[in-house]
C-alpha cells in the first residue's frame, strides 16, 4: 500500500467535507513498535464520510482492541486441548455475529483496510496448518459439512451481516492434499471466495531452534509452494507455535536460494486482543492472537471465551467502526493514542 497516496486521498476528503466514559482498564500489554499503514482511500460506493455526530451515534472507537482468533483442528472428537468441535466453532461464530462482529482477513487488518459498517466490530478468524478439517469440497462443489469454511458460510447465511472470510496459514500438503493440481484448485477456490491463504512455513518447525539460514529456508520453501499454487502474495505471516527466531527480523524479511520474502505483519500464537493498526502503540511484527477455547486451566484468562466476555463487559475498549475508511474516529479521551501521521484524518468526539 502506498502510504503517501492514502494520506493525500484522506486529506482531500477532509477539504471537501470539513469536520464539524471509559468502561474499564485493559490488562497491561508489552506491545510497542513501528506504526501501521493508515486507512485506504474509499471505493466509489463508499458511504458518506463520518462526522463527529455520526461517530458519536455509532459509539465509534477505531483505536479499540480487535480479537484475532486462532483455530487449529476442527474435529468431532477433540484430540488435543487446542482442537475445537464443529459445534463449538459454530457456537462461537454465531456468538460473534450476534454481538455485531464482522470478519476481516489478517491482510486487511495489517493494511488498515477495516471496512465494516458503522457500529460494528472487526474480528479476524485465523486457521493454522491447513488441516483437512478446514476445507474440502464435496461432490456438489460446495464446502463439505463440518469443515471450517462450510460452517463460516452457514453462519453468514443465518446472519447476513457476518462476512464469510478468514485467513488460512498453511504448511506443505495443504488441507491434507498431496496432488499438486488438487492443492492448487483448493487454494484458488478459497482466494476466489475472498479468503486469504498465507505462509506458515513449509514443515512447521520451531523457528527459535533454527539458524537464521534455516529460518529463511523454511519460509521460502513454503512461499514457493504458495506461488506455484496460484496464491497471491499476502503481507502476513504466522509463526509456528508462536515461536520467534533468535534473529527476530528473520520472521519478516529474508532471502534463501535467490528468493526473497518481506512481510508487513507477523502474528503470534497468543494471548489477548490486538491493538488497532491505527494506534501509535501498534507493533505489526508482534500481533497477538487469542486461542479459541473455554475457560479451564490457563484459558481462564487467556482464551476466547474469557476475552470475548471481557470485551462485551468493556465495550468502550473494543474497536467499533465509524463506517468510513477515510477517517479514524474515537472518543476524545483516546485521541492521544492515534499515530501522529493520522491526526489529520482523526475525528474525536
CA distances from 279 to 36, 74, 307 (A): 8, 34, 20
- Residue holding cell 476445507? 135
Give the separation between CA 323 and CA 118, rounded to whole angstroms.
Answer: 4
Task: Please report the pLDDT score of residue 46 as a whole number.
Answer: 65
Alpha-carbon gap, residue 194 to 148, rounded angstroms: 15
- Find the helix packing angle between 180-192 and 212-228, rounded to 10°: 80
Supply the pTM of this predicted model. 0.88
Buried b (16+ CB within 10 A) or exposed e, 146-160: bbbbbbbbbbbeebe
Taking the CA atoms of residue 325, residue 329, residue 335 and residue 336 in that order, the dihedral angle to the nearest 10 degrees is: -20
3-class state of residue 236 by DSSP: strand
Cα–Cα distance measured from residue 86 to residue 64, given in angstroms and rounded to the nearest whole number: 30
State the pLDDT at residue 118.
Answer: 98
Exposed / middle / buried, residue 243 (Cβ in 10 Å: 0-12, 13-18, 19+): middle
Residue 226 near residue 192 (C-beta atoms within 8 A): no
* Residue whose C-alpha is closest to residue 26's, from 266, 288, 239, 349: 288
- How far separated are the first and last CA of the chain, in Å rounded? 29
In the chain, count of helices (H) and strands (E)?
A: 8, 12
pLDDT at residue 256, as a whole number: 98
Residues 163/103, Cβ–Cβ less than 8 Å: yes
d(CA 217, CA 229): 18
Q: Rounded distance, CA 137 to CA 191, Å? A: 14
- Cα separation, 133 vs 148, in Å, equals 7
SS3 104: strand
Q: Which pLDDT score is estimated for 54?
A: 98
Work out the angle at residue 127's Cα, subtended by the Cα atoms of residues 106 and 233, and round it to the nearest 5 degrees.
45
User: What kind and span of H or E run contains 259?
Assistant: strand 259-262
Beta bridge partners of 126: 70, 167
Query: One digit per residue, pLDDT tens: the chain, 349 residues?
Result: 433 333 333 433 333 333 333 343 443 333 333 344 444 455 556 678 999 999 999 999 999 999 999 999 999 999 999 999 999 999 999 999 999 999 999 999 999 999 999 999 999 999 999 999 999 999 999 999 999 999 999 999 999 999 999 999 999 999 999 999 999 999 999 999 999 999 999 999 999 999 999 999 999 999 999 999 999 999 999 999 999 999 999 999 999 999 999 999 999 998 899 999 999 999 999 999 999 999 999 899 999 999 999 999 999 999 999 999 999 999 999 999 999 999 999 999 9
- For 179, the 3-state DSSP assignment is coil
Amino acid at each position: 500500500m502506498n502510504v503517501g497516496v492514502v494520506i493525500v486521498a484522506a486529506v482531500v476528503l477532509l477539504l471537501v467535507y470539513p469536520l464539524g466514559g471509559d468502561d474499564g482498564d485493559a490488562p497491561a500489554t508489552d506491545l510497542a513498535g513501528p506504526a501501521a499503514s493508515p486507512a485506504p482511500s474509499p471505493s466509489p460506493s463508499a458511504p458518506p464520510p463520518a462526522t463527529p455526530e455520526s461517530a458519536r451515534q455509532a459509539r465509534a472507537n477505531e483505536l479499540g482492541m480487535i480479537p484475532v482468533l486462532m483455530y487449529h483442528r476442527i474435529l468431532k472428537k477433540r484430540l488435543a486441548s487446542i482442537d475445537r468441535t464443529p459445534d463449538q466453532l459454530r457456537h462461537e461464530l454465531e456468538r460473534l455475529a450476534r454481538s455485531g462482529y464482522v470478519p476481516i482477513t489478517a491482510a486487511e487488518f495489517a493494511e488498515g483496510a477495516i471496512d465494516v459498517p458503522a457500529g460494528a466490530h472487526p474480528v479476524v478468524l485465523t486457521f493454522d496448518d491447513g488441516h483437512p478439517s478446514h476445507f474440502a469440497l464435496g461432490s456438489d462443489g460446495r464446502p463439505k459439512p463440518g469443515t471450517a469454511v462450510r460452517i463460516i458460510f452457514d453462519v453468514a447465511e443465518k446472519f447476513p451481516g457476518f462476512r464469510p472470510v478468514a485467513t488460512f496459514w498453511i504448511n506443505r500438503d495443504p488441507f491434507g492434499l498431496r496432488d499438486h493440481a488438487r492443492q492448487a484448485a483448493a487454494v484458488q477456490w478459497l482466494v476466489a471466495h475472498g479468503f486469504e491463504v498465507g505462509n506458515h512455513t513449509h514443515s512447521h518447525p520451531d523457528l527459535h531452534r533454527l539458524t537464521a539460514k534455516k529460518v529463511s529456508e523454511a519460509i521460502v520453501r513454503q512461499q514457493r509452494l504458495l506461488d506455484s499454487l496460484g496464491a497471491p502474495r499476502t503481507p502476513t505471516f504466522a509463526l509456528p507455535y508462536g515461536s520467534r527466531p533468535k534473529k527476530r527480523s528473520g520472521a519478516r524479511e529474508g532471502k534463501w536460494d535467490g528468493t526473497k520474502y518481506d512481510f508487513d505483519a507477523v502474528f503470534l500464537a497468543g494471548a489477548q486482543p490486538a491493538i488497532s493498526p491505527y494506534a501509535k502503540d501498534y507493533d505489526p511484527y508482534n500481533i497477538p492472537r487469542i486461542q479459541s477455547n473455554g475457560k479451564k486451566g490457563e484459558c481462564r484468562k487467556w482464551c476466547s471465551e474469557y476475552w470475548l466476555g471481557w470485551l462485551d463487559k468493556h465495550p468502550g475498549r473494543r474497536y467499533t467502526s465509524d463506517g468510513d475508511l477515510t477517517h479514524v474516529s474515537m472518543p476524545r479521551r483516546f485521541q492521544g493514542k492515534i499515530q501522529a501521521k493520522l491526526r489529520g484524518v482523526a475525528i474525536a468526539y
